[in-house]
Amino acid sequence: MIVCSCQQVSDYDIELALLDILNEPEAPIPTPGVVYRYMQKRMQCCGCAPLAVDVIYAKVEDLEKRGLVCPFRSFSTRERLMRMRQQRASQKTPAATVEDFEICE
């Protein structure tokens, strides 16, 4: 599935990036900005940010279930991503703003 048509980023690209990011010794929270920078990509219109967050969240869960990332690390990451998702859902506007994700530079 294509997540970002501007940069031709697929859910598989995100999965591969997450594998590397989450297995780093001091893994950062895999926000869209972190994932895109890891892939040496840059969001242009930022329209894919909400979908990217959903895909990242789903892929973190899937990687944990498959035993490809440490359960403790993915649990911590999943909790942080859930907080981000709840913040986004509590906003009155249906779409997240760029500032919510700190991704566009």
Burial class (CB in 10 A: 0-12, 13-18, 19+), 48: buried
Please give the chain's pLDDT, 105 residues, in tens: 999 998 999 999 999 999 999 988 888 888 899 999 999 999 888 888 889 989 998 998 899 889 888 776 666 666 776 777 788 788 755 555 555 555 444
pTM of the model: 0.71
Domain total of the chain: 1
DSSP H or E segment with residue 86: helix 71-90
Q: The domain containing residue 90 runs over which residues?
A: 2-101
